[in-house]
């Protein structure tokens, strides 16, 4: 797989581990009541598994397996794709920080980063969604 897909996939796997850890702590607390403050992990759990894990893995695999261009760079311009990777993860970290600190401005900044990242990925992937040989 291309280097960017490897980074996206490994980062996604790290968020899988983090997301399952947050979720398991929440479930453990539901079962045997440890500390009410653990409920603060809920938005971190949701963000980690939905964006950090699932979305990021999907983008990594799509970048890898979608049909390649017959001319020029096989997967399109690489710099914007790397920028999207950085922005996506900056966005996730900002949302996590915003949720933990209760800072709505951080959450907003994070969501903007995620939106820009996905828009860049979408623009790069769009022309690769095609019939073989075209």
Partner 1 sequence: MPTLTRWFIKTALAYLALALLLGLGQALRPLGLTPDWLGAFGPVYFHLFMVGWMTQLIFGVAHWMFPKASPEHPRGDERVMWLVYGLLNVGLALRAVSEPFVAAHFAFGWLLATAALLQWLAGLGAAWSLWGRVKVK
- Applying CB under 8 A, which residues contact partner 1? 1-3, 6, 9-10, 13-14, 16-17, 19-21, 23-28, 30-33, 49, 54, 57
By beta-carbon proximity to partner 1, the closer residue of 56 and 107 is 56
Q: Considering beta carbons, is residue 14 or 66 the nearer one to partner 1?
A: 14
Question: Hunting for tokens 């922005």 — which residue is that?
Answer: 87
CB of 45 to partner 1, least distance (A): 11
CB of 26 to partner 1, least distance (A): 8
* Shortest Å distance, C-beta 61 to partner 1: 8
Comparing CB distances to partner 1, the nearer of 81 and 106 is 81
């Amino acid at each position: 797989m291309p280097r960017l897909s490897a980074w996206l996939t490994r980062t996604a796997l790290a968020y899988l581990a983090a997301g399952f850890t947050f979720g398991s702590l929440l479930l453990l607390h539901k079962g045997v009541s440890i500390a009410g403050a653990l409920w603060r992990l809920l938005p971190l759990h949701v963000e980690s598994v939905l964006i950090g894990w699932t979305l990021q893995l999907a983008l990594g695999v799509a970048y890898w397996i979608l049909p390649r261009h017959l001319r020029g760079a096989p997967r399109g311009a690489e710099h914007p794709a790397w920028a999207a990777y950085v922005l996506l993860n900056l966005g996730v970290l900002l949302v996590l920080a915003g949720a933990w600190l209760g800072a709505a401005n951080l959450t907003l900044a994070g969501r903007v980063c995620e939106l820009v990242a996905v828009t860049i990925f979408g623009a790069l992937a769009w022309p690769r969604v095609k019939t073989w040989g075209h």
